[in-house]
Structure 1
């Protein structure tokens, strides 16, 4: 099959819509369930490239949770601690396969942004992973295959309308890619430079030690950025992205956005949050929303005037700014990557508040000395990769 009709383009008024192959090549994808749309396929194909590269870089199954052509989370399949199982709402799932752990991590990093995601999996989807996907609000999934049990589970989702796409893992596109904007064709060579540990050899700071675990996290962050709308930065820890900032015109705003997401990921693990007395009927998505408010600047709105009664059985004690800062001071060893150089040291000042100890960025700013000096002030090790990763 060389062509697939879509229900519509980016918006319902944009018809007709299709994906197709030039020449005599076949489409590398099959729709096993549902009717994917234009944005679904943009997310699916970008997500597939991301997880394929993560698998190659780490040797572990990988997953990503995509929304509007940028990842909300990306992770490899490391086991989950009891605390991570709790904050990712998978305590009841029993022992999970490595692929299911990867998806739980990818989905759990920023659950609010992942609401209604499109999922990409590096490996054949198994039943453990399918069961996690089935109970989340999601638009679809792409993988190189599905077990019979997994496919049966996914075909039950959304009364059979859930989008399930299979991709040929051997497919490789042409070296040159083309797209149109306003009737004008753009052509460029694909961004195929491999992201490996060699990119981390040029350490320009006084601190020189980057442990292997941090190198893996930096590779995860860099690969994630390769498929994130620019400007973008990514915080990573323990084999997963914990904060992704995408599409910001100002890099420091991007660093702040991603840093706040990383902070929220860690604040969810605080005793004040783990002990929140949720009503049993409150859904996971509603719990995520309530937690976001509770740990955010609007917590007073949740706790005043009895509005807390809708989600909690008891009124929680306030999570004060002082208590939040004290907890965040325990976040250490975080890795941070940027898709282009940091132009000022203010990015480093913000990053270190979220526990950043290791940084990878291209270098090349006229203020590199200032950025390096700021890293030296806080004992942060930084590697200049020499590789920009803009994605549009």
Structure 2
């Protein structure tokens, strides 16, 4: 597989499979760069896990190794449809994978500009036509229906990158990273994220099914987002993702501002939202900030010396706190 260039255009780059002849994906159209492949693989792993957990098509809009948005198949409202120039009748005719993509991109349309799209199901003509309307660099999917590739290949003067992944591909059991003369090795993280992680809050109270689904989707998204990270989720889609900040409260504020923008586009006040953090919350400021954005359920690993303060803040705001015991850093 030929690469256009490395992390920056002045750097040459190459790619080879760790097991000779075994490629996890193939190029259908275009020529990838180093970063295109990193974003595509990050996005594919997210949507493949989400689809496996929930049994529904999933989509993600990826920029710089983190999702700008992610969603499961579900209803597409008038605001999201309008961003693609669709009327209500057109939106009603969208396929499940197309609906998942529209919902994912609606999280943060500004950040999704020039994204890499990842979907868990075959790309049909419906989705291909939607993608033709937006500025995007690439898509990765397990298959493409007849006619879809022709539509996509015409984007960007024929340079739009189309990648087909192999859903049956199993990567090696170890992940290896080489940095400045050091080789770091660790096992592939195969911990399954299940509803049991987020089904009951710290008071022993079972959560509503909608809260369990949203908190669990948040955990899947966080697992594939650059740390530190936080996420606001509602009705099977992200409303705001905060990624790669040095302080967790910065992530919470950034993601909260995106969630506010989502509600403002609908001319509505924030409704019930689920919130997740990829690692322990050390201060109650994250809870206070999350409450400003309509959060009703809050999932984090726990383990901080200030766990009691965080729990008290949740009680004050009427937020159900779930302690998962699982850290989901990604560096």
Question: Normalising to structure 1: TM-score of the pair?
Answer: 0.81
The separation in 2 between residues aligned to 1:117 and 1:45, in whole angstroms, is 13
The separation in 1 between residues aligned to 2:131 and 2:108, in whole angstroms, is 15
User: Which residue matches 1:49?
Assistant: 45
User: Which residue matches 1:61?
Assistant: 57
The separation in 2 between residues aligned to 1:209 and 1:13, in whole angstroms, is 55
1:342 equivalent in alignment to 2:281? yes
Which consecutive unaligned segments of at least 5 residues does structure 2 have? none
Which consecutive unaligned segments of at least 5 residues does structure 1 have? 271-326
User: CA 1:200 to 1:29, structure 2 compared with 1: closer, same or farther past 3 Å?
Assistant: same
Q: 1:100 aligns with which of 88, 94, 98?
A: 98
Q: Which protein is bigger by CA-based radius of gyration? A: 1
CA RMSD of superposed structures (Å): 1.4
Aligned residue runs from structure 1 range 70-149, under 5 A: 70-87=66-83, 89-91=85-87, 93-94=90-91, 95-149=93-147
User: Which residue matches 1:185?
Assistant: 183
8 Å Cα contact 1:339-1:388 kept in structure 2: yes
Q: CA deviation at 1:91?
A: 2.9
The separation in 2 between residues aligned to 1:201 and 1:78, in whole angstroms, is 22
C-alpha distance after superposition, 1:6-54 (max 9, x if no partner): 1111101111x11211243411211010111111100000100000011
8 Å Cα contact 1:205-1:376 kept in structure 2: no
Q: 1:199 aligns with which of 197, 200, 204?
A: 197
Choose between structure 1 and 2: higher helix proportion. 1
User: Which residue matches 1:262?
Assistant: 259
The separation in 2 between residues aligned to 1:109 and 1:186, in whole angstroms, is 35
Q: 2:165 aligns with which of 164, 167, 181?
A: 167
C-alpha distance after superposition, 1:125-160 (max 9, x if no partner): 011111111111000000000001111111111121
8 Å Cα contact 1:195-1:222 kept in structure 2: yes
Question: Normalising to structure 2: TM-score of the pair?
Answer: 0.96
User: Which residue matches 1:357?
Assistant: 296
Aligned residue runs from structure 1 range 322-333, under 5 A: 327-328=268-269, 331-333=270-272
The separation in 2 between residues aligned to 1:260 and 1:89, in whole angstroms, is 25
When the two structures are aligned, how many residues end up with a matched partner? 329
Local SS of the residue matching 1:141: strand
8 Å Cα contact 1:200-1:215 kept in structure 2: yes
The separation in 2 between residues aligned to 1:68 and 1:201, in whole angstroms, is 32
